Amino acid sequence: MNSKFDYIIVGAGSAGCAVANRLSENPNNNVLLIEAGKSSHPLSRLPASFALLIDNPSANWRYRSEPEENTSNRQIPIPRGKLLGGSSSINGLVYVRGNKLDYDTWAQMGNTGWSYDDVLPFFKKMENYQGEVSELRGTDGPLKISEVIDRNPIYDGLFRAAKEIQIPFNKDYNGDDQEGIGYTQTTIFKGERMSAEVAYLRPIKSRRNLFIITNSLVKKLLFSGKKCIGLEVLSKNKIIEYSVSKEIILCGGAINSPQILELSGIGRRDVLESKDIPVVHELNGVGENLRDHIAPRMVYKITKPGIAYNDKARGINLIKQVANYVFKRDGFLSLPSAPVVGFFKTRKELAAPDIQVHFIPYKVVLENGKRKLGKEPGITCTINQNLPESKGSIHIKSNNPEDPPSIKYNFLSSQLDRDTLVEGVRLIRKIMESETMKEFCGEEMQPGESFNSDDKILQYIRDKAETVYHPVGTCKMGFDQEAVVDKNLKVHGLKGLRIADASIMPTLISGNTNAACMMIGERCADFISKN
């Protein structure tokens, strides 16, 4: 393999796989894709494997946040995929584009070309939607998207209970209107995970102009003046240099992209100098503007026998589920993390839903980031605020690329965030304590009925809430003092370097971030092709 390429893509996650596919469509482009992790994991195609891979060091970076007072001085787990496909190979397989207003807000902030109408063609381009045909959905793209096929009686109960409080059933929350409750759209096809690697890389690995290397950690980018000319890679205890003639595209995600920039001398002067890194380019926004969806989890006891998966996933029942999956590709093992999802308003006057809820038909126990089935049958409701105001930061702890960075979320620093999550808990109580749900559910197991005041609910959130693993924003797109890339994803003040991943999002989107990351990859490749 040559050591010089037209394009080098750093990170084979959701965005990186999309960029690699589209750039290598042109046979005149010589493309290198570099991944720090391995090529695959034997469990990654199994949908239910997200519970096993969420803390597995062989497929996961297993980051942890710094202890902070607002979250009871806990270290919050931050799983990130460390294999081809990145986090799309270990995530909960929930497919959400976000709300129209999310992207219109990006455009209103000065990022022209990023409104909903601008990004919609790229969502459609990547989708192969298996549901009802609509002018808003794509059907010819590489990513197959299907609706949950499981039909548990409790799902219908949730829909009827939501209707009691004027929350509509929504057949396609990725369509014209996001608000409501409905079956989850998933990156699952015929019972198997459709990661970015499966969708974008597997079909094109035979392209002679695409080179993919794994188990290769980027140490730093290389520059000639203000132009990026290559990078150093640590592979098998050897340092290898690769040079680039056109561009390097960072697709390391919200954690690794700012880390690589700082290791390369790009960022805040005080951060770089404190770690003995020569300043190549001062850019104060690198690592700032960190946002994520903090998520308290509520658990209710299921009293109706035979519907909770806590019972179906043990002993002889588990053997039956395995057989069902092997021969039919359905059942418990074929499900995403949440078969039902809702987008709700905590205040009627809002223009768009401000919370998202994942409904999980079993009791989930989280212990230090490890997801386990509870012994008792239950249903878990995971609540997150769509657009939190609280912002944190990510910065390197040392000049060693193998050291994890310091991740400070600063969760719950905004009064709006605190109020919204408390109201989210109260809204779920209205649904779960409705007459309809009395047929299925008993007591509130977490946090419990004693947590009845705003102060007590907030303390429960501080003590127990983790995230739904959607870090974004640390190399934000824009033109203010915190901006790192422009609207074409070029790094401000540098040549030959773009960033395409969740880090460029100026704000969070209203929903799971995997779909938006792939869209960003598609968008980046389009920018490059039109240069």
Please report which residue ranges of 206-356 form alpha helices under DSSP H.
253-263, 269-274, 309-312, 315-328
Q: Which helix (H) or strand (E) holds 291?
A: none
Helix (H, G, I), strand (E, B) or coil at 219: strand
For the chain, the distance separating the N- and C-terminal CA atoms, rounded to the nearest angstrom, is 27
CA 124 to chain centre: 19
**Alpha-carbon gap, residue 316 to 476, rounded angstroms:** 50
Q: SS3 for 398-431, per residue? A: CCCCCCCCEEECCCCCCHHHHHHHHHHHHHHHHH
Per the document, the length of the chain is 531
Note if 358 is an active site residue: no
The pairing of beta strand 4-10 with beta strand 31-34: parallel
**Alpha-carbon gap, residue 492 to 500, rounded angstroms:** 14
- Total Cβ atoms within 10 A of residue 204: 15
**Alpha-carbon gap, residue 234 to 213, rounded angstroms:** 12
Task: Considering the candidates 41, 358, 395, 470, report the single residue annotated as catalytic.
Answer: 470
- CB-based contact 161:168 (threshold 8 Å): no
- Total Cβ atoms within 10 A of residue 240: 14
**Alpha-carbon gap, residue 420 to 454, rounded angstroms:** 11
In order, the DSSP letters of 426-478 are: HHHHHHHTSTGGGGTEEEEEES-TT--SHHHHHHHHHHH-EE-S--B-TT-BS
**Alpha-carbon gap, residue 492 to 207, rounded angstroms:** 33
Task: Give the Å distances, CA to CA, from 195 to 93, 95, 472.
Answer: 8, 11, 19
Q: Which residue has the tokens 């809702």?
A: 342
- CB-based contact 152:107 (threshold 8 Å): no
Q: Which residues are catalytic?
A: 470
